[in-house]
Each structure stands twice: as structure tokens, then as C-alpha cells.
Homo-oligomer: A and B are copies of this chain.
């Protein structure tokens, strides 16, 4: 047999232009407005890249902050400037959609540590005038929220009508609701957890080791070397991608179907469709994401433990809250299984919070939160409309019919 060319071979290094010149709006915070981080370092100056949709009403009471997941970005409901694909939640967010931009003012910002314009490891370190690389401080979910809070302050919004997000976005929702109880009217943590489990830390560690094992990672300084750890980052993405799907979804989507061939080739080429699919996922991810951002953001998720932050009692994180919560999980999500959501609900119940909990029947795995699931969409629409009415905001057009 002959060696199959892998589809993850090195390609010319490319620095995504969005790092330094994002297509979206940006909020700059100069050296006089430093961001104090959990690690005790400060980030200054720093930039938050963000997108908005809809209009802020006169009393600034209709703002919804959407928090993105690990590899997401601010382009929640508009074409992604790198991939030209629709926004990652464009089915959920837009005019007449469950998060209705004719009623709500939607804000979505790239997390710090990211690579779409908010300050991250690929950004220029003012001390060296070179990309930070591993000199970028290790950040936390709390730091991401702190940066968002600064943006919300700048937009002059006192209280967010809602904070909504799935997966890592859901962690930010929980952190917001815990840190700024008076500034969050409603909170929607989806397919998430109040602390990262051992298994999830393990999967992240595999991804990081894959990146770091790539010689083109150059101990984090690949920018200067004009390289990109394509192979390592691609392997990391492939491994992660499996965890986003359910076994049933993989079975239904691919099963043991062969890729453009009628028989196996007795080689290491992508005989099976699932192999071809994963290689494609790995390869395209590298074109849009910074490897060091992947390290930093996975680390932030690993460090997330809202229970530990509150003396080992998760309920303490929410004591005194007046926020209305809607907690959502999906039956086939094995990365953030329903029991993680139940732990959140139990903590909220323990402080008599206003909480509804919906486990959505779905065979799509963790990815379900990014996909069209009628019950999920109806849940979001219904919860937001009810909360809007409670707050004296007009409901969405559909709810008014």
C-alpha cells in the first residue's frame, strides 16, 4: 500500500486579518482603563470587538447580550467575514426569530482571548510590539464577563434584559447572573455546566497537547516565524468535534458509509465518510481560528468552577438573585449532560430563584444548541416573551398575534 496524503498537510501560514482589523464595531479601552484579571495581571490597553442587531429603546431596557461558545465569535446573526457563512445563531436571532431583533437590541462580543478582534494571544503586546503569544495572561470565564461588563457600561446599559448563551456561552451567563445580580433581568444558560467536569478537562488537554506537539507551534511564537500549527490544531478540532455530536447523530449521518467508493481501499485514506468529514472539519477550522486562542479559551473553561468560587456551595453564587432563569439541556448531549443543568437548577431552587428548566428531546448531541430544534426555539421565544411582558416590554410580533 502507499501512504495516503493526509488532508491536514501544512499550508502557507496566514494571520487572520480579523485579529487586528475586525470587520465589526470595536470598543477600545486605553491604558488608563485596565482590565484586572483573575490571575492578578492586568490587560491594558484592551479591545472588545462586537456586533449589535436591532435598536436600543429609549430607556435601554431591551438589550440582550449573547455570549458565544469556545470557537464562536461576535457574528451571531450576520455573515462571518472569514468564512462568508451565515452567523452561528442566525436561525435563532433576527427579525421575527425567537430572539427577535425587531423587539430586542442584541449585543454579541468576541471574548477576550479570542481571535476576532478582541484582545487575545495573537494581538500585539504593547510591551514588545509583537504578538503576545504565551506572554498573554491566562484568562478565566470571569475575566471574559468582566470585559463584557465594561462594554455594557460603555453602551450605557444599566440592566441587560437578558444574557443568553450555550456551552461556554452558558458559563458566561451563569457568571453574569452571579456577579451582577442587579444587571441581569433574565438569564438563559443552555447546554452548559457550573463547573467543567474531569472528562471535559481531559478532552481539552488532549487538544492542547495536540497543538503543542506540532513543531510549527514554535512554543507559541509561530506568528513571528510565519507558521501556523495547522496539523496540531486540526487534530484538536477533530477530537473535539466528535464530542459535539451524539453517537446516534454520527450513526444516522454517516454510519459506516464509504466516501466516494464502493469498497474499502486497504489504506489510510479517508475510506469512511466520517473520516472525510472530520478531516474537513479540522482543515477548515484552522483557516479561521488562532491556535493560541484555542489553548487560552479551553483553559478558561477548564478553570470554570462557580461552586468552588463560592465556598463549595453553588447556591451561594445565586443567593439574593431576582433574575428569571431559563435553564435548557438536550437529552443526547454527553458533553454537558442534563445532570449538569439539574445541578444549576437545584442550586437556584435552593435560593428560591425564579427558574424554569427544560430538557429538550434531541438526538443531535451537544451541537443541538446551534441547530434548529423546534421545541428549543419555542422555549426561548416563550421565555423571552413572558419575561418581556413582565418587564413591560412589548412582546415579539408572533406572541402578539
From 322 to 345 in chain A, residues with beta carbon under 8 angstroms from any chain B beta carbon are 334, 337
**Which of A45-53, A110-118, A196-204 has 4 or more CB atoms under 8 Å from chain B?**
A196-204
Given contacts A199-B250, A235-B235, contact A213 B8 (CB under 8 A): yes
A220 at the interface (CB under 8 A from B): yes
Chain B residues with CB under 8 Å of A270's CB are: 205
Instruction: Say yes or no: B274 contacts A205, CB within 8 Å.
Output: yes
Interface presence of A260 (CB below 8 A): no
Query: Hey, which chain B residues are within 8 Å of A254, CB to CB?
Result: 198
Contact A209 B235 (CB under 8 A): yes
Determine the distance from Cα of A271 to Cα of B205 in the docked complex, in whole angstroms: 11
By the criterion of a CB under 8 Å from any partner CB, how many residues of chain A are at the interface?
66
Give chain B residues whose Cβ lies under 8 Å from the Cβ of A2. 134
Tell me if B198 and A256 are in contact (CB < 8 A): yes
Most B C-beta atoms less than 10 A away, residue of A210, A212, A254, A271: A210
- Assuming the contacts A3-B220, A209-B6, A302-B272, asked whether A251 and B197 have C-beta atoms less than 8 A apart, the reply is yes
Contact A134 B3 (CB under 8 A): yes
Instruction: Indicate if A373 sits at the interface (CB-CB under 8 A).
Output: no
Set of chain B residues within 8 Å of A138, measured between Cβ atoms: 1, 266-268
Question: A255-286: which have CB < 8 Å to B?
Answer: 255-256, 264, 266-268, 270-272, 274-275, 278-279, 282
Cβ distance A64 to chain B, nearest Cβ, rounded Å: 31
Residue pair B210, A266 in contact (C-beta under 8 Å): no
Interface of A is mostly: helix
Interface string of A227-259 (1 = CB under 8 A from B): 000011011001100100101001101111000
Give CA–CA (A251, B235) in the complex, Å. Answer: 25
Q: Is there a chain B Cβ closer than 8 Å to A78's Cβ?
A: no
Closest to A237 in B: B206
- The closest CB in chain B to the CB of A195 belongs to B256
Which residues on B sit within 8 Å (CB–CB) of A242? 199, 202-203, 206
Cβ of A245: which chain B residues have Cβ within 8 Å of it?
Answer: 199
Q: Does A36 contact B (CB under 8 A)?
A: no
A235 touches B247 (CB 8 A): no
Known: A239-B206, A295-B268. A3 touches B39 (CB 8 A): no
**Nearest 4 A-B pairs (CB), nearest first?**
A213-B231, A39-B266, A138-B266, A198-B250
Besides A1-B134, A203-B242, A206-B239, 8 more A-B contacts (Cβ < 8 Å) are: A2-B134, A134-B268, A198-B247, A198-B255, A202-B238, A209-B282, A210-B210, A235-B235
A-B contact pairs, 12 of them (CB 8 A): A1-B39, A1-B137, A2-B134, A197-B250, A198-B251, A199-B245, A202-B238, A202-B250, A209-B234, A209-B235, A209-B279, A209-B282
